[in-house]
Amino acid sequence: MELSDFFLKNQRAALAFSGGTDSGYLLYAAGRYGARVRAYYVKTPFQPAFELEDARRLADELHAELAVIEQDVLNDGQIVSNPPDRCYYCKKAIFSNIISRAASDGFTTVIDGTNASDDAEDRPGMRVLAEMGVVSPLRLCGITKDEVRARSKEAGLFTWDKPAYACLATRIPSGTRIEYDDLRRVEAAEKELAAFGFSDFRVRFFHGAARLQFPGAQFASAAEKRAAIAAALKKYFPVVLIDTETR
């Protein structure tokens, strides 16, 4: 099946939209193939501010409909306790919200940006998609992450080379209660690192310290700037560690 075939059969759909590469390309493709797709972005404490900014920018550039839903997932005890399958409970809460809102707006089909490269066995949240009847057109059409990037670049989407971004909750070790202030500290620290010119890094919460993980190609630069990095991040964490195991 081609995406053109999918959208020919599904002329109206609600898109779970993150502002990332995959859902961004799907929103573009829907418009290209004449479908009416409304994007739904769920804003939770787990998303940094730049994600919503990217989502709004892309929707504007594509002249697409965008609905922003505020949801405080920290009110859910199963999520806050942060078990190993926390992602499952979080996705379930978020997609329940999207499905309910989409239904009230007249959309009975809900789609998401899962692609053919995503490993279902490694993503607990993907169980939710099957359980709730969410359709993944990229996966159905056999479109891989590399192909999504190539097509996005050809289409002129600024998200074509956007690094994959796991939510802020992934920075907190499983079993450690998720606190709002800790999420904000991580977000602020990652914003500082971005200002240094780094990308695709992570600031992990580690017994109250910040454990920094960089891609291999950026590790030497991080080590060289370690004093400046530590000084910038000490505003948020008493101890700053650079992990010798690169991302």
CA-to-CA separations, 175 to 75, 123, 151, in angstroms, rounded: 17, 18, 39
Domain final residue, candidates 131, 161, 191: 161
- How many domains, the chain? 2
- Specify the pLDDT at position 244: 82
26 falls within a domain? yes
Residue 201: which domain range?
179-242
Indicate whether 145 and 211 sit together in one domain.
no
120 falls within a domain? yes
- Specify the pLDDT at position 158: 97
- Specify the pLDDT at position 120: 65
- Specify the pLDDT at position 245: 77
Q: CA 172, 178, 183 angle in degrees (round to 5)?
A: 70
170 falls within a domain? no
What is the SS3 string spanning the chain? CCHHHHHHHCCEEEEECCCCHHHHHHHHHHHHCCCEEEEEEEECCCCCHHHHHHHHHHHHHCCCEEEEEECCHHHCHHHHCCCCCHHHHHHHHHHHHHHHHHHHCCCCCEECCCCCCCCHHHCCCHHHHHHHCCECHHHHCCCCHHHHHHHHHHHCCHHHHCCCCCCHHHHCCCCCCCCHHHHHHHHHHHHHHHHCCCCCCEEEEECCEEEEECCHHHHHHHHHCHHHHHHHHCCCCCCEEECCCCC
CATH of the domain at 122: 3.40.50.620
- Specify the pLDDT at position 126: 79
**pLDDT, tens digit, for every residue of 111-147?**
999 999 987 665 666 789 999 999 999 999 999 999 9
Residues of the chain below pLDDT 50: none
